[in-house]
Structure 1
Amino acid sequence: MLTRVEDGPSIVTCNTCRQSRLAQADAAGVTGGAQLAAHLRAVKASDPRYVGIAVQEMACLFACTEFCTLHLRAPDKVGYVMGRFTPDEDTARAILDYAVSYAESAHGRVAYRDWPEGVKGHFITRTPPPGYVAE
């Protein structure tokens, strides 16, 4: 049931997430989560700044009251579940920009002044790394 993946900074997208509160998928039947994952991969491939951030997918993060959710995580850092995104290129770039700052941070905390506009208001939960709680 578990698949081993890279153990570095990563964005784990829910590939079964709804596209919006009202729609599961686009006209072609592609879910919002799958669209977001595709945009994240395309933007990542277009800019070497994002090389250290893995884009991974899994079915259902169990945040079904939200849509287009993801989990940002890295070893020994606080993780974040984020959602309510529009699955497009601008969103993907904002998420990746935040992920770079997150990866460079000591414990997963990025100063609010450094957050891209596209991630503000999209945080759902923060999760402590195994063996720790956040202060």
Structure 2
Amino acid sequence: MTTWITICDTCKRTDWDARAPGRTDGEALAELIETAAAAQPEVRTRRHSCLMGCTSGCNVTVQAAGKITYTLGDFEASGEAAEAIVGYAALHAVSDSGQVPYKTWPQGVKGHFVTRHPPLPPEDDTP
């Protein structure tokens, strides 16, 4: 099953104005994630303007139909971060529930989890 990485392309880290005016940190991270994910057929990417996690940018979500969704944040736009995010998404893709055992997490995602959302119930589920 395909796991999607949604990347906030408007994220700016606190020192953004001094470092890279005109290009957001989110745009830079999105490019790196897109490149890293190209070799993972079970992982797809998309960009979204503002995931509303501005105090902990750069932010991404890892999600798939019927699985737990995770929001991760406080990343720098680096190749190491991109590889770790894609590595985690690949593990999420092969998990039946979306849960990935902690001991298998790439080091670069540890400490970056912000939220976890349970999957939506099936359409025919009545209370």
Given the two structures, how large is their TM-score scaled by the length of structure 1?
0.83
Alignment of 1:19-38 (within 5 A): 20-23=13-16, 26-27=19-20, 29-38=22-31
Asked whether 1:120 is paired with 2:110, we answer: yes
Task: Tell me the equivalent position of 1:43.
Answer: 36
Aligned residues: 122
In structure 1, stretches of 5+ residues that fail to align are 1-6
In structure 2, stretches of 5+ residues that fail to align are 123-127
- Superposed displacement of residue 51, structure 1: 1.7
- Superposed displacement of residue 64, structure 1: 1.3
- Superposed displacement of residue 116, structure 1: 0.5
- Superposed displacement of residue 130, structure 1: 1.1
Letter in 2 for 1:53: V
Task: Tell me the equivalent position of 1:14.
Answer: 8
Letter in 2 for 1:29: G
Given the two structures, how large is their TM-score scaled by the length of structure 2?
0.88
RMSD between aligned alpha carbons?
A: 1.8
Deviating above 6 A after TM superposition, structure 1's stretches of 4 or more consecutive aligned residues are: none
**Cα deviation 1:51-105 (Å, max 9, x = unaligned):** 2111100100011111110111001000001000011111101111111111101
**Cα deviation 1:88-126 (Å, max 9, x = unaligned):** 111101111111111101101100000010000000000
Task: Evaluate the alpha carbon distance shift between residue 32 and residue 105 of structure 1 in structure 2; reply closer, same or farther with a 3 A threshold.
Answer: same
Alignment of 1:49-88 (within 5 A): 50-88=40-78
